[in-house]
Amino acid sequence: MSTTYAEVPAPAALAGDVRCLWRSSFGGIAPILPDGCLDIVVAPDRVFVAGPDTGPWFSPYDLGVPVHGLRFRIGRAARVLGVSAADLRDQRVDLADLWGAAGARATRELVERPGHLAALVAGRLDRAGTREPDREVEHVVRVLTAGGRRVGETLAEVPLGERQFRRRFAAAVGYGPAMFARVARLVRVRDLARRHPRATLADLAAAAGYTDQAHLARDCRDLAGSTASALLRADHAPAPPAGRGGGPDHRSPGRGSDATSVPYKQVVGGRG
């Protein structure tokens, strides 16, 4: 059966908060792995928010069922959703449960017209009062995404009490800086494996910021439910195009054995 995954850039007015809009028919043929993102997902029978994950998740939809989504930039979803990202951690919450009657109305509209998803988010942002991001959270996300520095060193630069900042970070991102650093490191090693398919696991681990290969193995087991070799072999897709970047602001469903071979931008990503 033919399968597709495709992304389109967010409208310019949403680009600061929304990474992309996407559509998928991959179903649950491969796990969706943690990447720090939150999505609003429009399926044929429901509209729900997919919170930030700490482990693999499989879509409940069959191969070929069309699913649409909107992916927020890391740390930008809470103002739109009206709830702390930490409350959505490892959760799939119906929009009607999150927003009440307004969520139920939005669900009825989106199931019929998933193309209205961007307009819905734009309206929520207009009512949020401010579009200014939390600059301290943004800074720490950026530094931990790039790797090369310890969490403690990064937090030492933040002009706030550590306990206060950790609460703000979790409310925006969904989990604390240490957990986010693990997720970002896993994304880095997967990107490196795609770019350097002949590299050894030890070399990939060192380049991504793991202490050693055993550290990589533990995180793959905990976050992806897989051995490192199995996970990174499955990720040997073509390298991303220039400008895509290697940060965790995207997600990969991996490659199912019956998935249609499509370019990277159609393969990577997509809850649903």
Q: Are 104 and 66 in contact (CB under 8 A)?
A: no
Q: Is the pLDDT of residue 267 over 50?
A: no
* Phi/psi at 23 (5° precision): -140, 145
Cα 238 → chain centroid? 20
Q: Are 23 and 66 in contact (CB under 8 A)?
A: yes
- Residue 150 identity: R
pLDDT band of 249, cuts 50, 70, 90: very low
CA distance 118 to 14: 8
State the burial class of residue 121 (Cβ atoms within 10 Å of its Cβ: 0-12, 13-18, 19+): buried
pTM of this structure:
0.84
H/E segment holding residue 264: helix 264-267
* Token representation of residue 18: 């929304």
Where are the chain's structural domains? 5-128, 135-235
CA distance 136 to 120: 28
pLDDT band of 92, cuts 50, 70, 90: very high
Q: Is the pLDDT of residue 255 over 80?
A: no
The model's pLDDT over 163-220, given as tens digits with 9 standing for 90+, comes to 999 999 999 999 999 999 999 999 999 999 999 999 999 999 999 999 999 999 999 9
Q: Are 222 and 7 in contact (CB under 8 A)?
A: no
The model's pLDDT over 43-81, given as tens digits with 9 standing for 90+, comes to 999 999 999 999 999 999 998 999 999 999 999 999 899
pLDDT band of 235, cuts 50, 70, 90: low
* Phi/psi at 24 (5° precision): -145, 150
Give one DSSP letter per residue of 153-196, joined into a string: HHHTTSSS-HHHHHHHHHHHHSS-HHHHHHHHHHHHHHHHHHH-
CA distance 119 to 14: 9
Q: Is the pLDDT of residue 238 over 70?
A: no
Query: What is the CATH topology of the domain spanning 135-235?
Result: Arc Repressor Mutant, subunit A (1.10.10)
3-state helix, strand, coil in the chain (%, to 5): 45, 10, 45
